[in-house]
Structure 1
């Protein structure tokens, strides 16, 4: 089974001590986002985990503690944009984040650190030329620290529309997406970066841009030196190429304050929920209640026999 940590919140940035405790106890409890009282008990023993994918914008707090991941196969999805604080309000400076990216790559290798430049949006001060320039500057500094960049264009969710409107932020038309993608592909080739899109309908194969699998079983197989059975995640959007995984995060707990975030209803609610954190508790920012139903999650092993092919 593949563990996603997490599309719902930034565990490396805010909850690494909690996660370390979960690894020590070798299990985690996860609430069903659609059914509050339905709780899964997910085993974390290395022998039942095919790999882990970490989603983060700031893994700096855990860089000195990577040794706890030694028994596991893993990689990082590291989002690094060049927006101002009005859009991403609670992040370290861009310079600090670039240094963190480079340091993480030094520690785990460039194959384990995938750069995400997403979501791409437009607004005052953020036009196509801005993104072309920002992407080129970041690519130059991240060259050698990663082998792949995944891009995505802004998706509209009802809960974020008011935030976007307040800042006069919009998505891109199909024509603008293609125009910018052409520019970014040219830059990516200059720095020997593979460029892929995340869950986008737009076909850009003629530009050398493929469709990403952010939860990538084949990559985990290469990193672990084994073959992996690829099972598509049917719970994601049709355009999503991700393999099936179990997400161990919780919504309304990320404190980065990004205006485009689909995982938080509001920053105030995220702060309130995050304040409930007990690093020793098996649930993230929550405690078990008497009317909760805990069910053991079946762990389907995807890796096959070891092979010398990799």
Structure 2
């Protein structure tokens, strides 16, 4: 199985002690965000965890203990945007993130660390010209540390509209201008420009829209065939229409990310995040809180999807 760490919060940035404690313990408990009484227990051992898929704005807290993950396959998406404290109030200085990105790349390899420039939106301060200039500078700084950059234009989910009411949908002309500039910068700095398969129209301007975590990609990166259940592939898992990706299981929790980004879809509000963060115990099997009397516990998906068959990529 593939485990996300995490699309719901930033575990590497804020909960790295907890994560490494979970590795040492060999298990994690995850409360279902929609049916909170239901708790899944995942074994965190190399025979069942095929890939840890990390998504973070700051990998630095993970770096000193990466050796503890040497028995596991890992894959990383590092989000690095041009926004300032008005949008990302608690994200570290971008120069520090660039340094951590490069350090991680040296440890795990540039093919297994991808840059996310996501989400893209346009305001008076963050204009089309601003994005074009900022992207070129970041691409130059990351040259050689990654081979792919994944972009996405902002999705105006209900939580986003609540916390960022002044943001507006990007126009077709803005989208076209930014996309063309990103393709140009990526090619100049040895990167493949990528977009979610749901943005398939961007293929016409030079983007790879084949997917972020497909069967073909896993086999190319790790040189072994993978055979995930059909129920974990594509839009049937709740992914966006047209998505061909393998969907893993998430060990994070919503409303727990202290970055406080105004465009975040995973936080309801910062006060809820602060309340939850105070309930965090690095030694606990749950990310937030503990067991409750009415919990229904079940072991979850303890099988590897890797077949053992080598691939010739």
TM-score normalised to the size of structure 2? 0.94
Q: 1:127 to 1:241 in 2, by over 3 A?
A: farther
Aligned equivalents of 2:31, 2:163: Cα separation in 1: 27
**Per-residue deviation, 1:308:** 5.7
Verify: 1:19 aligned to 2:22, yes or no.
Answer: no
- Provide, for residues 110-146 of structure 1, a one-character-per-residue CA deviation record: whole Å limited to 9, x for no partner: 1111000000011121111111111100000100000
Aligned equivalents of 2:154, 2:55: Cα separation in 1: 18
Verify: 1:267 aligned to 2:265, yes or no.
Answer: no
**Per-residue deviation, 1:269:** 0.9
Corresponding residue of 1:278: 281
**Per-residue deviation, 1:105:** 1.0
8 Å Cα contact 2:198-2:240 kept in structure 1: no
What is the aligned-residue RMSD (CA, Å)? 1.6
How many residues matched? 308
- Provide, for residues 65-104 of structure 1, a one-character-per-residue CA deviation record: whole Å limited to 9, x for no partner: 1011101111110000010100001011111111111111
Aligned equivalents of 2:302, 2:171: Cα separation in 1: 41
Corresponding residue of 2:58: 58
Corresponding residue of 2:84: 84
Corresponding residue of 1:210: 208
Aligned equivalents of 2:217, 2:25: Cα separation in 1: 27
Verify: 1:43 aligned to 2:46, yes or no.
Answer: no
Q: 1:262 to 1:212 in 2, by over 3 A?
A: farther
TM-score normalised to the size of structure 1? 0.95
Secondary structure of the equivalent of 1:68? Answer: helix
Aligned equivalents of 2:68, 2:211: Cα separation in 1: 26
Verify: 1:292 aligned to 2:303, yes or no.
Answer: no
Using the TM superposition, name which of 298-307 and 112-121 deviates more.
298-307
- Provide, for residues 232-282 of structure 1, a one-character-per-residue CA deviation record: whole Å limited to 9, x for no partner: 142222243321201000001101010000100011111110111111111
Corresponding residue of 2:75: 75
Aligned equivalents of 2:306, 2:22: Cα separation in 1: 23
Aligned equivalents of 1:284, 1:140: Cα separation in 2: 36
8 Å Cα contact 1:53-1:215 kept in structure 2: no
Corresponding residue of 1:226: 224
Corresponding residue of 1:108: 108
Aligned equivalents of 2:205, 2:42: Cα separation in 1: 41
Secondary structure of the equivalent of 1:204? Answer: helix
Aligned equivalents of 2:41, 2:79: Cα separation in 1: 29
Aligned equivalents of 1:222, 1:160: Cα separation in 2: 35
Secondary structure of the equivalent of 2:37? Answer: strand
Q: 176, 190, 196: which is aligned to 2:174?
A: 176
- Note the 1:74-223 alignment, pairs <5 A: 74-165=74-165, 168-198=166-196, 200-211=198-209, 213-223=211-221
Secondary structure of the equivalent of 1:211? Answer: coil
Which 5+ residue runs of structure 2 have no aligned equivalent? none
Using the TM superposition, name which of 212-221 and 120-129 deviates more.
212-221
